[in-house]
């Protein structure tokens, strides 16, 4: 029997998904773990057909988990499930190789359909998510993709460090930090640090 692994820390959702799959026509043996660490441990001893993956895990982010799974375990398909409808999160998840994406606000029939599609090798993106991705405007507007260094600087800004302090931490000149900061403001179309940090946090760039 083919196996499915649920990686999800909320018991309600976990058990609900479990029961949903068990009572469906899908022929899947449904296992579950509560965090990424246990998930990887399980995968080392078992073979799963599909992983139902929550994005908010207690240890590492679902995005990182997906990246690891996709690089280390060939052929496993990943269906991401999230409650946050934030575009950057969705984009990063898809970039990490997720085969499907549904929202917790999807109803049960849609979830089953998504599982079916993903197992069959198709990519299933929930309508709600598609809507989220489609309203992509002119390049440079809305939510931007950041470089590694920019994310690094952004996190330090959000932690309350000033340019000189960040410069010291990263062993670079304060001018450079200032450049990154300006680029961040530009990319986010933010007029100051306050709204920059707010949008960064609400879009999951800064994990709290």
Partner DNA sequence: GAATATATCCCTGTAAAAGGGGATTTTTTA
Partner DNA sequence: TAAAAAATCCCCTTTTACAGGGATATATTC
Looking at 133, 164, 201, 202, which residue binds DNA (CB under 7 A)?
A: 164
Interface with DNA includes 149 (CB under 7 A)?
yes
How far, in Å, CA of 119 to CA of 155, rounded? Answer: 37
How far, in Å, CA of 96 to CA of 60, rounded? Answer: 14
How far, in Å, CA of 49 to CA of 5, rounded? Answer: 8
Q: Which stretch binds DNA (CB under 7 A): 30-38, 65-73, 83-91, 169-177?
A: 169-177
Residue 104 binds which of DNA, its own copies, none (CB < 5-8 A, kind-dependent): its own copies
| Residues facing residue 82 across a β-bridge | 103
Residue 118 C-beta: closest distance to its own copies, Å: 17
What tokens were used for 203?
């879009």
Place of tokens 């984009």: 91
Looking at 24, 31, 35, 106, which residue binds its own copies (CB under 8 A)?
A: 106
User: What x/- string results for residues 150 through 179 when contact with its own copies is judged by CB under 8 A?
Assistant: -------xxxx-x-----------------
Residues that bind its own copies (rule: CB under 8 A) add up to a total of 33
Q: Could you give the maximum distance between any two Cα atoms of the chain, in Å?
A: 61
Residue 12 binds which of its own copies, DNA, none (CB < 5-8 A, kind-dependent): its own copies
Place of tokens 């330090």: 156
Q: Which stretch binds DNA (CB under 7 A): 66-74, 90-98, 108-116, 142-150?
A: 142-150
Q: Which stretch binds DNA (CB under 7 A): 60-68, 71-79, 176-184, 200-208?
A: 176-184
Interface with its own copies includes 148 (CB under 8 A)?
no
The interface with its own copies within residues 72-101 (CB under 8 A) comprises 83
Residue 65 φ/ψ, nearest 5 degrees: -60, -45
- Name the site residues for its own copies (rule: CB under 8 A): 9-13, 15-17, 56, 83, 104-108, 111, 157-160, 162, 190-195, 197-198, 201-202, 206, 208
Q: Which residues bind DNA (CB under 7 A)?
A: 147-150, 157, 162-164, 167, 170, 172-173, 175-176, 178-182, 185, 191-194, 196
């Amino acid at each position: 029997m083919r196996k499915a692994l649920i990686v999800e820390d909320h018991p309600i959702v976990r058990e609900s998904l479990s029961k949903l799959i068990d009572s469906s026509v899908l022929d899947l043996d449904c296992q579950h773990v509560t965090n990424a660490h246990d998930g990887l441990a399980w995968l080392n001893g078992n073979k799963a057909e599909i992983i139902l993956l929550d994005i908010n895990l207690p240890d590492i982010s679902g995005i990182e988990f997906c990246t690891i799974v996709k690089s280390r375990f060939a052929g496993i398909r990943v269906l991401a499930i999230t409650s946050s409808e934030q575009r950057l999160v969705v984009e990063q998840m898809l970039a990490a190789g997720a085969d499907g994406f549904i929202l917790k606000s999807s109803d049960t029939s849609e979830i089953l359909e998504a599982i079916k599609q993903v197992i069959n090798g198709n990519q299933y993106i929930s309508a709600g998510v598609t809507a989220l991705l489609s309203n992509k405007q002119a390049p440079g507007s809305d939510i931007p993709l950041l470089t590694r260094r920019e994310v690094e600087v952004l996190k330090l800004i959000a932690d309350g460090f000033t340019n000189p302090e960040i410069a010291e931490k990263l062993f670079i000149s304060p001018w450079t930090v200032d450049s990154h900061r300006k680029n961040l403001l530009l990319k986010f179309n933010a007029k100051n640090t306050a709204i920059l940090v707010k949008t960064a946090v609400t879009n999951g760039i800064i994990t709290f």
